[in-house]
Structure 1
Amino acid sequence: MSGALFDWPALMRAGLQGLGLMPDAFWRLTPAELLLMLGDAPDAAPLRRAGLEALLVRFPDMAKKENGHDRDG
């Protein structure tokens, strides 16, 4: 087989230094997962404002309070 399939030194630098992964976490990733984490997913569309707003509605930062108490606790 001629040529390397992956540039492992560059991927290791990106994962360990750039993403701050521990070596065991890096080696458990599939190449597809690593590329996704690095932002190089060919099928992933960028998150637009409408998508962000929908996520904020679905997952608010703070639990709503009823009678001065959190609903969660």
Structure 2
Amino acid sequence: MQEPEAFPWAAVMAACLGRLGWTPDVFWTATPREVAAALAGLGMRHGQGTGRLARPGLEALMRRFPDKAHEEGGGGDDRTR
């Protein structure tokens, strides 16, 4: 029988405190369901490492932080031109 994985405290805390900007008080008073919803909003799913970002999370970041150089016709990757 396979042993259950330990809860990934470091990854969850890094996402909530670092990426979402929660204070420790907010983190420790959040319910597991609230934390799961916040992580889903970042595009992170159960079983994914913090180094991987699901497509919806990437698209949300792209909308939030558009590449201004690309929009203005300068900079960026020349391979697409």
Larger fraction in helix: 2
Q: Report the TM range for the smaller structure's normalisation.
A: 0.3 to 0.5
Q: What's the TM-score, normalizing by structure 2?
A: 0.43
Larger fraction in strand: 1
Query: Quick check: which has more Rg, 1 or 2?
Result: 1
